[in-house]
Amino acid sequence: MTLVKWLIVFRHAPFGWVNAVEAIRLSAAAATEHQLELLFVDDGVFCLMRGQAPKGIGYPAIDKSLRMLKELDVKYYADSESLVERGLKEDDIDPRYRIEITSSDEVAHIMAEKKVVLCF
């Protein structure tokens, strides 16, 4: 099978919606078979916050999976505007994700060069 470029887009905050957990499940599969990158935009940037502890509300954690994907060299892009308008600073983000902060123009370019774009 030829390697195909995938982009999985996280658009929703974690835990209030199932989207983040579902996106991660698919990401884990896609990362092993194809060339995967992740984009965090709008409320999706909330998935990147450090120190998450969802055990107290009975939800599965997402940080372990997001760290595991980094070991497969998956790039994480975070939309600059989305971070700023939510009051999020670089300090709020888990440094282990090694996110690349991107402008809207860069997001467009990242998306355009992919064969598969899936939005959650």
Closer of 34 and 86 to other proteins (Cβ): 86
Instruction: Quote the Cα angle for 37-96-7, to 5°.
Output: 10
Tokens for 111, please give them.
């998306």
From the CB of 106, what's the least distance to other proteins, in Å?
Answer: 20
Tokens for 20, please give them.
């983040």
Contacts to other proteins by CB under 8 A: 12-17, 42-43, 46, 49-57, 59, 84-89, 92
From the CB of 39, what's the least distance to other proteins, in Å?
Answer: 16
From the CB of 117, what's the least distance to other proteins, in Å?
Answer: 20
- The helix (run of H) or strand (run of E) holding residue 105 is helix 104-112
Helices (H) and strands (E) in the chain, counts: 4, 5
Closer of 8 and 12 to other proteins (Cβ): 12
Closer of 28 and 88 to other proteins (Cβ): 88
State the residue for tokens 């902060």.
101
